[in-house]
Structure 1
Amino acid sequence: MFGFHYKLERNAIGFTLAVIAMASIGGFVEIAPLFTIDETVEAAPDMRVYTPLELAGRNIYIREGCYACHSQMIRTLRDEVERYGPYSLAVESKYDHPMLWGSKRTGPDIARLGGKYSDQWHVAHLINPRDVVAESKMPNYGWLMRDTLRVDDLGLHLKAMRKVGVPYTDAQIANATKDAIGQASPDSDAAAGVSERYGEATNVRAFDGVPGTVTEMDAVVAYLQILGRLTDAAHKTPMKTE
């Protein structure tokens, strides 16, 4: 066998063809399942898109590298399901670009974090994690409370997401800035439009506890509070654990 390999290495054309053949086999194995993706991904008629504020929070989450320590994919193992909740379904990441499944868990998986803690808990945790979790290794993110969220370009963010398949409407794109402000300002005139465009169940409140301004903290907490709640598909699917 080694003799054949040594001969192949000395033959540039033969070695190139062998590499192409092996790469083609590997590529086919990876690509073939995509032809049946419509049959393998669950249906979720109640699935909704991220609001502009939630999408901005997700972008900040990525910017700060939070995905390096927190996964967002609960495996089918019994201990994971008992700790975190129903295992993750493919459809739940349908509108995630990029995916944030991850495998590193310096901190816990947060795929089902939405609604688990109050906004106040999240704000305190982000400002100084050890105030609420004494053994936490997480760094402080206090500046999120001080930094005003940039909202003037959110329409472009939604438009970019539509390019890759997220079904944002023209009205949602045109009102992105207004809706981001309205979601964090429940007493403003803009708040009603958020529920109209994204559904009555949409969280509309001052996430950072300070009405009147829209901070990066508002955006991040809004994003964390929707994790696992864009659809109820996982809670309606019979769970089979290993």
Structure 2
Amino acid sequence: MAEFFHRKLERNAIGFVVAIVAVASIGGLVEIAPLFTIDETVEDAPDMRVYTPLELAGRNIYIREGCYACHSQMIRTLRDEVERYGPYSLAVESKYDHPMLWGSKRTGPDIARLGDKYSDAWHVAHLINPRDVVPESVMPKYGWLARNALRTDDLGLHLKAMSRVGVPYTQEMIDNATNDAFGQASPDSSFAGGVTERYGEATHVRAFDGDAARLTEMDALVAYLQILGKLTDAAQPKTASAEE
């Protein structure tokens, strides 16, 4: 009976088109309907801050090197995931991520809450040769990042592009992007003060690769890794005093 109906439908062009539209509409409705309540389902995070130019440059390097192919950045609500990686990820934590890097494959661990879990020196050693700190690691080496000077002359354009898609970078941030990238990795320079002024006192300002004299791709990537999960405290458990 089903085979007869299917053959009859295939021979009726108009009926077949209508059936396709109906099935596609169901799928579309399932995807679109939740968007009507997105304002009610996405959490509010008034303390959310944007990536600094150096962190954004590090994120671009992370994408360029394909790190997202082995590391997800989305902790599920499953108990074992929360116990291993920390509080489950919230939608608001990715509001300034373009593109999203949630991922699904975990050749390596999820890094959604990697920020401040290890020292800068650990990250540098891990990226230069992962086996030095994690003997069983299958991660490739990224030692050249410590030798590559970071390109900064186009960072203002990167911030401007992000502002076009809704990231609230101010014109002052865009104009000072190059200096802020240098200042964040050179705490003793005259540019360091501008970084905390524009991005907040909690911003990491230090020589991420251990050498304040040079700004490298290693600086940028480590700066990015150290801010993961730290752009907002929205996912952190509220203490009793905070709730009161």
More moved, 157-166 vs 10-19? 10-19
Please, which runs of 5 or more residues in structure 1 have no aligned partner? none
Deviations 1:167-223 (A, max 9, x none): 111111111111111111111111100000000000001100011111000000000
Q: Quick one: distance in 2 between partners of 1:236 and 1:75?
A: 16
Matched, 1:152 2:136: no
Task: Name segments (4+ residues, structure 1) moved above 6 Å.
Answer: none
Match in the other structure for 2:140? 139
1:103: Cα distance to partner? 1.3
Residue 35 of structure 1 aligns to which amino acid in structure 2? Answer: F
Deviations 1:42-100 (A, max 9, x none): 11110000000000000100110000100111111111111111111111111111111
Match in the other structure for 1:77? 78
Please, which runs of 5 or more residues in structure 2 have no aligned partner? 240-244
Deviations 1:126-182 (A, max 9, x none): 000000000000000011001111110011111111111111111111111111111
The RMSD of aligned alpha carbons is 1.0
Match in the other structure for 2:51? 50
Residue 195 of structure 1 aligns to which amino acid in structure 2? Answer: T
Secondary structure in structure 2 of the residue aligned to 1:28: helix
Match in the other structure for 2:117? 116
TM norm structure 2: 0.95
Q: Quick one: distance in 2 between partners of 1:114 and 1:56?
A: 16
Secondary structure in structure 2 of the residue aligned to 1:235: coil
Match in the other structure for 1:14? 15
Q: Which runs of structure 2 are paired with 1:90-239 in the superposition (5 Å)?
A: 90-236=91-237
Question: Identity of paired residues, percent?
Answer: 82
TM norm structure 1: 0.96
Aligned length: 238
Secondary structure in structure 1 of the residue aligned to 2:136: coil
Residue 36 of structure 2 aligns to which amino acid in structure 1? Answer: F
Matched, 1:26 2:24: no
1:13: Cα distance to partner? 2.3
1:237: Cα distance to partner? 5.5
